[in-house]
Structure 1
């Protein structure tokens, strides 16, 4: 191999590494979903002040619900037979592992359904009972105004694609929002212990 050929090979390799570096968000992301998550955490968007209707038919804005607490949010729909039940079970595990005082004073758990047509308050009330949600410190709710729902999903990078059978393809995660309504973390919903430690660390540091 001549020197020119060696140089050409090196250039090609370096170019390939540069493309990989950019495409994987500095080697941190190997999927489009991870890259999107990293971008969300970097940008820390503000959560829109949407109006919620919960399982007890109460309506209030996101700000009224939050009341200077952190928010721990999931997005689901009750007819989901795949990932949603596991998502909510894992959320239940996080809820049960946090100190009672933290649940009472520092953080609000919230599961939001994006199937507003089927997930009325009565359905959400039944669904929450499967996961020992108390309907207060952990609420399940829907957003009746489609435009507001779409804005929230878009702001938090939640992709929801309906099919022809009343189901949805969607990404799944834990979303942690600070006391001022800004997203500060998107966590792998399968990593329960990590989520618990992250919440404790953030709230503990905030209280220090």
Structure 2
């Protein structure tokens, strides 16, 4: 009877230890409790380079990421027909803009919203959409599309942006703030719901670089 109890206790301990190890490995050493967190951690670790894609902005201008060479670029991925998360995402981006000292904006950092719905988000539509947000002026904060679908998809894949179309012309997608450094490398992926935290992270980076 005692042996059976000892055997059952040992079996229970082994099962618990096995489960513990699986949880540890499956969550990237507890640092990632969800697939999204693991994705973000992987992106920040790998720091992908922003690919050479062609933007067309709300003013009909075309250029690459080199347009912002020598500046940090604070980026969101959106589509103008979105009635849910995109509005919150851009409104929060507006708040981040307000929190960053004005001497950095335009000189050291650029704001950019990229549409992943290029067929509908032409320059005219983006020009209307940007008017919903106080600081989106088409210059210091631009809105643009990538017309070439292969280029667009490559960028989304590189930056871990998941976009799933539905039958009604809408998209299910993840959302975050992306900060690209002056060399075009992804520096940070920030929680768009934590406006103050995102702004403070950006300000710290800009201040450290200014004082270097």
Q: Report matched runs for 1:80-91 at 5 Å.
A: 80-91=82-93
Q: Report matched runs for 1:147-186 at 5 Å.
A: 147-186=150-189
Deviation at 1:56, TM superposition (A): 0.1
Work out whether 1:38 is the aligned partner of 2:55: no
Gaps of 5+ in 1: none
Among 190, 195, 198, the alignment partner of 2:193 is: 190
For 2:175 and 2:38, locate their aligned partners in 1 and report how far apart those are by CA, in whole Å.
14
Indicate if the aligned counterparts of 2:114 and 2:145 stay in contact, CA closer than 8 A: yes
* Counterpart for residue 80 of structure 2: 78
Structure 1 residue ranges (4+ consecutive) displaced by more than 4 angstroms after TM superposition: none
Q: With the length of structure 2 as denominator, give the TM-score of the two structures.
A: 0.95
Deviation at 1:7, TM superposition (A): 2.3
Deviation at 1:207, TM superposition (A): 2.0
* Counterpart for residue 124 of structure 1: 126
Q: Report matched runs for 1:8-87 at 5 Å.
A: 8-63=11-66, 65-87=67-89
Gaps of 5+ in 2: none
Q: Report matched runs for 1:110-149 at 5 Å.
A: 110-132=112-134, 133-149=136-152
- How many residues align structurally? 207
Please tell me the root mean square deviation across aligned C-alpha atoms, in Å.
Answer: 1.0
